[in-house]
Amino acid sequence: MRTDHSEFIARHHRSAQGVGEVPAPSSRRRLLMASGAIVAYAAVCTGVAMFMDVPRESVAVAGAAFLLATGVAFLMQRGFKLHAKQEKERALLREVLEGSRGARLITDGADNSIYFNQRFSELCDGIGAPNLQTLAQFFTDDDEAAMHFRLLADQAHRGLTDSIELHSVRGDSDYWFIVTAQPIAGWAGYIHWRIDDISEQRANDRAVREEREKLIDFTDNAPVGFFSVDETGKFVFVNATLARWLGEDIENLLAHGHLHTYLDQPPSDAHPYDVVEGGGAKQVVELLMKGPAGKTFTASISQAVVNEADGAVRTRGVVHDLTAERAMKQALKASEDRFQRFFEEAPLGIAMLNADGVLGDVNHALASMLDGQVETFEGRHFEGLIHEDDRAAVMDALDKIVHAPQKGVAAMPAPMEVTLLGLEGNVTTQMFARRFRGSDGVVLHFIDLSRQKALEAQFVQSQKMQAIGQLAGGVAHDFNNLLTAMIGFCDLLLLRHKPGDPSFSDIMQIKQNANRAANLVRQLLAFSRQQTLRPKVQDITDILTEISHLLRRLIGANIDLDVVHGSDLGLVRVDVGQMEQVLINLAVNARDAMDGGGQLTVETRAFRNDKPMTCGTDEMPAGDWVAIAVTDTGCGIPPENMARILEPFFTTKEVGQGTGLGLATVYGIVRQTGGYLGIDSVVGEGTTFTIYLPRLSDTEIEHDDHKDVEEDTTRDLTGTARILLVEDEDAVRTFSTRALTNKGYEVLDAESGEAALAVIESLKEKHGGTMPVDLVVTDVIMPNMDGPTLARRLRQENPNLKIIFVSGYTEEKLKEHMGENIWFLPKPFTLKQLAAKVKEALEE
């Protein structure tokens, strides 16, 4: 009976090599017993052969069996001797493998697991059996990792040892392993696998790398430049900020850049790495560095020089670009200067008040408002500058602002009117106070109301003057109606009472006084600017020449008259009679101011102002003017009277010495002419009245179509036309009717517009519906239907009807109603003036 022990021996051999399983003691006993049987069996066979004289071959077989038995017995004896040593080595090898920090696996040529340690078992826990197939499953989720694992296994089977880092995904976690495949020498197909988990190391490396990248990014993007150079001045480190300032790439600076190349003026007595003369361990300097495109910038460099043990030098430098900093300082200074300029040049007063009520900064506007210098008021308590009537209210309002919560802005709900104590008098101001967030002080703003108060007073005065003007115009209109009747009836009486008649002188006295009254009415209309002017293009020099002899007689022998004519005055458009009235009024006013004699000077000159200027209470626009200055050496005008001298009926003369209309008339005529009146006076020295009249341009002179018509005293004023006369004043209507009837005209009169229309309708019935009149003479102001309304009604049937408007008001008020075949006759008028105007209208 033969037993095949080859697998058993191979396994034992593997066990002896520390690989595979070790036979158990019972197996060893069976092996010894089999060997003994073989030996006994071989011995018996040998003896039998010798005893029985068997063939030599049989003896050889028996010998071979004996020898085999003997050899096996020897080998087993020797194997048992080696077993103890191998057991010890095997235990040591197991301890080494089990104690390894990596997972270990040994596979044979068929990739079967021969051995694995506890770590490999734990690695495969929950995934599969601890074998190579389970290990391959680690990398199936990553195609690249799976491919690299297969290549690693193929290389190992070809006898090549290699390691590789592989990525593995398990659940939501990422893992990294270093997998090493090492073929076992002398054992074909056997591979030793080592798997090391480097996930934590990888995470730490990544964290370090990220921190390093953050540090690099911070360094590169820091607002300052960093650099380091060696003993030759060559850059060994430079951050991106400095490279950008120098206009270079970091790689180029590190490869070829030297420190002194980028200094505008490198230090002469210094090492290549120094930035200051003489060098030193610590170097701080401000200098110019070269930037891109040859530009330079101011930089502050702080550098530490380190000498290393081997003689090498390394510097650590920090660079600050001072361009932006200085630009910011300049911008800040410019802002401060701008604020200071706004503060100083503000058109309103501004002051800073601290919590103790002391004035800090005071601007020039406030100081000027109080008639002092800035230094006069800075450091003073504000309370002392407030008028006692306003002091309590102002301080109470400021106290509320100072003690208001600091959360926001505290301010007065509305500005308040405050009277301040100036150095030269009280000043009425409008004050507004505000405290800003986080501040204990208060900002005060002041607006000077003095001019506003003066303007308000002027406005009140203007309103009063306007009311007086309207009253004067209304009175003048009514007077003109009365004077027209008075003068008209005087003319009718004079037709019957010729010179030499006892009643002639009486009638002339009535007419002369009526004319004086008419002159007074004209002054009222001149003041209210409602008179009718007949302006013509005139040379002021001619007017003064004509009237100078009259002025000399008016002022008397004790006053010298000096008339100074200017050159190149230009022409003006004025009513000659009214302008003569202006000069006469000013001369008479000057004569009365120089009671004891003196000098009266009338001077003309050309005047031009490039910007508007104040002229009395008016603002005269820029332009070319002809100025007439009337200067006396009289008593002057006191300041308290200056504001009232142009008021009608205001006079400083005794009762009966003047009407108070002289200067008011002058002002009204000048303004109605389009001019301005300036007044300068010094008490005790004299007064100058300056009249500014608009100077005509060449174009205005060429297009002036005003024609002078001389009154022809020999003209025939009779006629036969039918005239409709409409006048609400009975006396004027009666006079006018008789005057025109005496001249041969057929006159139909009516006391109102409605009555006039009734007369027209009655006549139309008699004349077959045609317009029955040749001319309509109508008053302008009438009850119910006025003159212009009547004219529109009549012209609806006869657009070419000739109409004469008669009024005690100015023709200017009828501009919108004036047109073709319309004339104007101002009241009061004489019989001859009425007849001449009618003749003019009918003949034209």
For 779-820, how does the pLDDT look when each residue is reduced to its tens digit (9 = 90+)? 888 888 888 889 888 888 888 889 998 887 655 556 556 667
Distances (CA, A) of 510 to 226, 488, 786: 114, 11, 31
**Distance, C-alpha 363 to centroid of its chain:** 24
Helix (H, G, I), strand (E, B) or coil at 439: coil
For 12-66, how does the pLDDT look when each residue is reduced to its tens digit (9 = 90+)? 334 333 444 444 444 444 544 555 555 454 555 445 444 444 454 444 454 555 5
Domain boundaries in the chain?
49-99, 100-205, 222-327, 346-512, 530-701, 722-843
- The answer to whether residue 7 scores a pLDDT higher than 50 is no
Band of residue 5 on the pLDDT scale cut at 50, 70, 90: very low
Question: What is the helix (H) or strand (E) element at residue 592, kind and residue range?
Answer: helix 576-593
Band of residue 488 on the pLDDT scale cut at 50, 70, 90: confident
Band of residue 462 on the pLDDT scale cut at 50, 70, 90: low
Q: What's the confidence (pLDDT) of residue 20?
A: 43
- Decide which of 254 and 223 is more confident: 254
Q: What's the confidence (pLDDT) of residue 434?
A: 86
| Three-state SS letters, 87-156 | HHHHHHHHHHHHHCCCEEEEECCCCCEEEECHHHHHHHCCCCCCCHHHHHHCCCCCHHHHHHHHHHHHHH
- The answer to whether residue 79 scores a pLDDT higher than 60 is no
Q: To which CATH superfamily is domain 100-205 assigned?
A: PAS domain (3.30.450.20)
Q: What's the confidence (pLDDT) of residue 813?
A: 55
Q: What's the confidence (pLDDT) of residue 313?
A: 92
Band of residue 89 on the pLDDT scale cut at 50, 70, 90: confident
Assess contact for 649 and 659: CB atoms under 8 A. yes
- The answer to whether residue 238 scores a pLDDT higher than 90 is yes
Distances (CA, A) of 754 to 481, 751, 807, 823: 21, 9, 19, 22
Burial (0-12, 13-18, 19+ Cβ within 10 Å), 353:
buried
Q: What's the confidence (pLDDT) of residue 606?
A: 92
Torsions phi, psi for 180 (to 5 deg): -115, 130
Band of residue 221 on the pLDDT scale cut at 50, 70, 90: confident
Q: 346-512, which class in CATH?
A: alpha beta
Q: Do domains 222-327 and 530-701 have the same CATH topology?
A: no
Q: What's the confidence (pLDDT) of residue 796?
A: 86
Q: What's the confidence (pLDDT) of residue 461?
A: 61
The single residue listed with the structure tokens 């028996």 is 62
Q: What's the confidence (pLDDT) of residue 809?
A: 65
Band of residue 662 on the pLDDT scale cut at 50, 70, 90: low
For 333-356, how does the pLDDT look when each residue is reduced to its tens digit (9 = 90+)? 888 778 778 777 788 888 888 888
Query: What mean pLDDT is reported for the chain?
Result: 79
Q: What's the confidence (pLDDT) of residue 19?
A: 41
- The answer to whether residue 479 scores a pLDDT higher than 70 is yes
How far is the C-alpha of 630 from the C-alpha of 527, rounded, in Å? 20
Band of residue 143 on the pLDDT scale cut at 50, 70, 90: confident
For 175-217, how does the pLDDT look when each residue is reduced to its tens digit (9 = 90+)? 888 999 999 888 888 999 999 888 888 888 888 887 777 777 7
Assess contact for 537 and 573: CB atoms under 8 A. yes
CATH architecture of the domain 722-843 equals: 3-Layer(aba) Sandwich (3.40)
What's the pTM value of the predicted model, to 2 decimals?
Answer: 0.39
When pLDDT is averaged across residues 565-574 and rounded to a whole number, the result is 88
For 737-778, how does the pLDDT look when each residue is reduced to its tens digit (9 = 90+)? 888 898 899 999 999 989 989 888 888 877 766 668 889 999
- Decide which of 161 and 23 is more confident: 161
Strand partners, 804: 777, 823
Band of residue 104 on the pLDDT scale cut at 50, 70, 90: very high
Q: What's the confidence (pLDDT) of residue 12?
A: 35
Q: How many helices (H) and strands (E) does the chain have?
A: 24, 30
Band of residue 605 on the pLDDT scale cut at 50, 70, 90: very high
For 296-315, how does the pLDDT look when each residue is reduced to its tens digit (9 = 90+)? 999 999 999 998 878 899 99
- The answer to whether residue 574 scores a pLDDT higher than 90 is no
How far is the C-alpha of 78 from the C-alpha of 72, rounded, in Å? 10
Q: To which CATH superfamily is domain 530-701 assigned?
A: Histidine kinase-like ATPase, C-terminal domain (3.30.565.10)
Q: What's the confidence (pLDDT) of residue 21?
A: 43
Q: What's the confidence (pLDDT) of residue 271?
A: 92
When pLDDT is averaged across residues 302-330 and rounded to a whole number, the result is 88
Torsions phi, psi for 237 (to 5 deg): -155, 140
Band of residue 512 on the pLDDT scale cut at 50, 70, 90: confident
Assess contact for 267 and 277: CB atoms under 8 A. yes
- Closest CA relative to residue 225, chosen from 211, 215, 237, 213: 237
CATH architecture of the domain 222-327 equals: 2-Layer Sandwich (3.30)
Q: Which of 302-316, 476-490, 582-596, 600-614 has the lowest mean pLDDT?
A: 476-490
Q: What's the confidence (pLDDT) of residue 423?
A: 86
- The answer to whether residue 3 scores a pLDDT higher than 50 is no
For 372-430, how does the pLDDT look when each residue is reduced to its tens digit (9 = 90+)? 888 888 888 998 899 999 999 999 888 888 877 766 677 888 888 999 988 888 888 98
**Distance, C-alpha 74 to centroid of its chain:** 115
Q: What's the confidence (pLDDT) of residue 498?
A: 84
Sign of torsion over alpha carbons 822, 823, 824, 829: negative
Q: What's the confidence (pLDDT) of residue 13?
A: 38
Burial (0-12, 13-18, 19+ Cβ within 10 Å), 632:
buried
- Closest CA relative to residue 588, chosen from 575, 572, 603, 600: 600
